[in-house]
């Protein structure tokens, strides 16, 4: 079946703009995760959803970052007033339940000019 998909694959924006990044998890996966990967680093946790609710948002760096998953499937990561330091690859992962393997998407490369 289809894996985790993320759109867009690349996003270039200007400092101060608002961006939305979309994640389509594997069908039936109840858990969804967002990570951010800066150049030369491993993925860094941002937020985890179990169903529609954010079960752990301790990784969001500040209040410019927000994520939703209104119907328990697709999720959108929203970044307000983007800064150059937000440039990174944003990864989404999903799992069947809390204890299961996390399957990663291809990522969205965000560049803030």
- Positions touching other proteins (CB under 8 A) are 3-4, 31, 33, 35, 40-45, 48, 55-56, 58-59, 91, 95, 98-99, 101-107
| Minimal distance, residue 19 CB to other proteins, in Å | 21
Per DSSP, the residues of the chain read ----EEE-SEEEE-TT--EEEEEEPPTT--EEEEEEE-TTS--EEEEEEETTEEEE-TT--STTEEEE-TTSS-EEEEE-S--GGG-EEEEEEEESSTTSPPEE---EEEEE-
Taking the complex as a whole, how short is the minimal distance between the CB of residue 98 and other proteins, in angstroms? 5
Residue among 19 and 47 whose Cβ is closer to other proteins: 47
What is the smallest separation between the CB atom of 55 and other proteins, expressed in angstroms?
Answer: 8
């Amino acid at each position: 079946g289809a894996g985790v998909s993320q759109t867009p694959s690349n996003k270039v924006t200007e400092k101060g703009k608002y961006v939305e990044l979309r994640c389509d998890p594997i069908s039936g996966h109840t858990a969804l995760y967002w990570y951010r990967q800066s150049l030369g680093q491993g993925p860094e946790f941002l937020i985890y959803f179990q169903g529609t609710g954010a079960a752990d948002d301790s990784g969001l760096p500040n209040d410019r970052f927000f994520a939703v998953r209104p119907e328990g499937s697709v999720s959108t990561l929203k970044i307000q007033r983007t800064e150059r330091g937000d440039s990174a690859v944003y990864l989404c992962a999903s799992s069947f339940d809390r204890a299961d393997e996390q399957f990663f998407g291809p990522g969205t490369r965000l560049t803030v000019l």
